[in-house]
């Protein structure tokens, strides 16, 4: 089943929610507006209010659809079961990069995806600070829509040699250690950074800021929009327990990683070999 969706109408909604509930609190959060859900895992009033607004409005764009939001799942893990149901599901991360948001670092995003029976049909990543939104629909390519509503078709950049590829890496690769340490010790890749926002890491992939990214977790709200956006721009994303990207493609129904995003199947395989043979 492929659904018809107006990408720009959803983008307009995301922009309106960000303008009302997120941007006014950037660099203005009071201490009581930030809470710790678990050690090191923060939630702010902006997360809660933005998710509430999107949860109310998005199903109106598609009657009969359901919503899986990060904060709703934090309150009730059974909400995740909606992803395996028959109804289309909106997957939401209202403020991806909450830690950056609380530290006044302008690297956070609103992430939204539409999934049908475990297949991601559309995705949006909105940067409230710049006003840019990367968005894609399955089989229709990736577009960058700017604050002035101008549009640019995005294709992932051609990869440089492996030895100069710039990347980002988060977390561990099983019992092999930290992904960043493995990659740096290999001496086979270029410089690594850490962005602390999956949304911005996917934006960097399609805009050329990163050549690849290794993720240790595969929570659906962190990846469903970005995987589709990057794949529609020509990139590859898959779990590294497969030998090729085609062996273990991303699915919002699978919530454990690690995941690896790279520009081509051959660069993906080369980076996987480094990570898996440490």
Residue 1 covered by a domain: no
Domain carrying residue 190: 162-276
Task: Flag whether pLDDT at 41 surpasses 90.
Answer: no
Q: Are residues 135 and 198 in the same domain?
A: no
- 167-169 and 192-193 beta bridge pairing: parallel
Q: Are residues 121 and 223 in the same domain?
A: no
* Residues 22 and 50: beta-carbon distance below 8 Å: yes
Residue 244 covered by a domain: yes
pLDDT above 90: percentage of residues in the chain: 92
pLDDT of residue 70: 96
35 CA to centre of own chain: 23
Domains of the chain: total: 2
Measured distance between the N- and C-terminal CA atoms of the chain, rounded to whole angstroms: 41
Q: Are residues 242 and 148 in the same domain?
A: no
pLDDT of residue 2: 62
Model confidence, pTM = 0.96
Q: d(Cα 4, Cα 60) in Å, to the nearest integer? A: 14
Residue 213 covered by a domain: yes
Q: d(Cα 179, Cα 198) in Å, to the nearest integer? A: 15
pLDDT tens digit sequence for 46-96: 999 999 999 999 999 999 999 999 999 999 999 999 999 999 999 999 999
* Phi, psi values for residue 34, rounded to 5°: -125, 130
Confidence band (pLDDT; 50, 70, 90) for 141? very high
Q: Are residues 16 and 147 in the same domain?
A: yes
Give me the chain's average pLDDT, please.
Answer: 95
- The CA–CA distances, whole Å, from 167 to 6, 128, 184, 202, 210 equal 33, 24, 10, 11, 5
Q: Are residues 35 and 89 in the same domain?
A: yes
More confident of the two residues 222 and 36: 222
Work out the angle between the directed axes of helices 198-207 and 220-232 (0-180°, nearest 10): 10
Confidence band (pLDDT; 50, 70, 90) for 277? confident
Q: What is the CATH number of the domain that holds 146?
A: 3.30.540.10
Q: At 166, list the tokens.
A: 């710039």
Place of tokens 């988060």: 170
């Amino acid at each position: 089943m492929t659904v018809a969706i107006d990408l720009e109408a959803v983008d307009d909604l995301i922009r309106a929610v960000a303008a009302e509930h997120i941007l006014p609190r950037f660099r203005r959060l009071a201490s009581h507006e930030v809470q710790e859900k678990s050690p090191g895992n923060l939630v702010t009033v902006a997360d809660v209010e933005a998710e509430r607004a999107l949860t109310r409005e998005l199903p109106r764009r598609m009657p009969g659809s359901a919503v899986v939001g990060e904060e709703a799942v934090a309150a009730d893990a059974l909400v995740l079961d909606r992803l395996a149901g028959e109804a289309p599901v909106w997957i939401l991360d209202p403020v991806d990069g909450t830690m950056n948001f609380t530290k006044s670092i302008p690297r956070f995003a609103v992430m939204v995806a539409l999934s049908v029976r475990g297949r991601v049909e559309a995705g949006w990543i909105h940067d409230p600070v710049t006003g840019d939104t990367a968005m894609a629909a399955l089989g229709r390519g990736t577009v960058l829509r700017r604050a002035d509503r101008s549009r640019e078709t995005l294709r992932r950049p051609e990869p440089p040699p492996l030895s100069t590829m710039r990347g980002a890496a988060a977390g561990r690769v099983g019992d092999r250690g930290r992904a960043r340490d493995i990659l740096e010790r290999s001496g086979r890749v270029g410089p690594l950074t850490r962005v602390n926002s999956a949304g911005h890491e996917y934006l960097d992939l399609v805009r050329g800021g990163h050549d690849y990214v290794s993720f240790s977790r595969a929570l659906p709200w962190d990846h469903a929009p970005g995987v589709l956006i990057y794949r529609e721009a020509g990139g590859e994303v898959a779990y590294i327990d497969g030998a090729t990207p085609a062996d273990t493609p991303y699915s919002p129904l699978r919530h454990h990683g690690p995941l690896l995003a790279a520009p081509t199947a051959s660069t993906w395989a080369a980076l996987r070999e480094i990570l898996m043979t440490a």
